[in-house]
């Protein structure tokens, strides 16, 4: 079980309440697909992902990025039992989609970069630590089925 401080809980709630999901989600997934091109193999049905411009202009990438970010709401709403909240998604990604669990960490790193850029100076070291702790717990929960 993860122990959350009041500051961490408040910070996570604050970040997600201020986040523009339709901007941040697509930007994070786009960054992941460009920076880590091997992650594209899971999105073969998304059409043209041959270069950065194609990825940035791909509506399916944008839509899935938004979906991913909304999926994090599950963790925000269930901070006391994140593992259970992501049990179904863990099974889906491991057994049906066969996603390499390392990709969850890569995406979380890209999301942190995008959020830091959006929040600017307000994304202090303490805020980043809380955000990354939250993402690490989500990543661990999504990868749980693989263990």
Q: How confident is the model at residue 57 (pLDDT cuts 50, 70, 90)?
A: very high
Q: How confident is the model at residue 47 (pLDDT cuts 50, 70, 90)?
A: very high
> Does the pLDDT value for residue 142 go beyond 80?
no
* Higher per-residue confidence, 53 vs 42: 53
pLDDT of residue 42: 83
Provide φ and ψ at 34, rounded to 5°.
-80, -50
Question: Mean pLDDT, the chain, as a whole number?
Answer: 89
Measure the CA–CA gap between 95 and 10, rounded to whole angstroms: 34
Band the pLDDT of 11: cuts 50, 70, 90.
very high
The pLDDT > 70 percentage for the chain reads 86
Q: CA-CA distance, 143 to 8, in Å (whole number)?
A: 23
Asked if 109 contacts 82 with a C-beta cutoff of 8 angstroms, the reply is no
pLDDT at 141: 82
> 61-111 pLDDT, tens per residue?
999 999 999 989 888 998 998 786 666 766 655 666 566 778 889 999 999
Cα distance between residue 12 and residue 59, in whole Å: 28
Question: Any idea which of 18-27, 50-59, 64-73, 138-147 has the lowest mean pLDDT?
Answer: 138-147
């Amino acid at each position: 079980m993860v122990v959350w401080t009041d500051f961490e809980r408040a910070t996570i709630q604050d970040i997600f309440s201020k986040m523009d999901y339709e901007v941040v989600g697509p930007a994070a997934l786009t960054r992941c697909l460009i920076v880590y091109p091997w992650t594209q193999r899971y999105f073969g049905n998304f059409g043209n992902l041959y270069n950065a411009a194609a990825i940035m202009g791909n509506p399916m990438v944008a839509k899935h990025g938004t979906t991913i970010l909304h999926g994090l709401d599950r963790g925000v709403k269930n901070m006391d039992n994140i593992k259970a909240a992501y049990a179904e998604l863990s099974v889906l990604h491991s057994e049906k989609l066969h996603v390499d669990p390392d990709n969850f960490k890569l995406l979380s790193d890209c999301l942190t970069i995008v959020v830091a850029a959006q929040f600017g100076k307000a994304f202090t070291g303490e805020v980043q630590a809380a955000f990354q702790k939250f993402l690490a717990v989500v990543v661990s929960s999504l990868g749980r089925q693989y263990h």
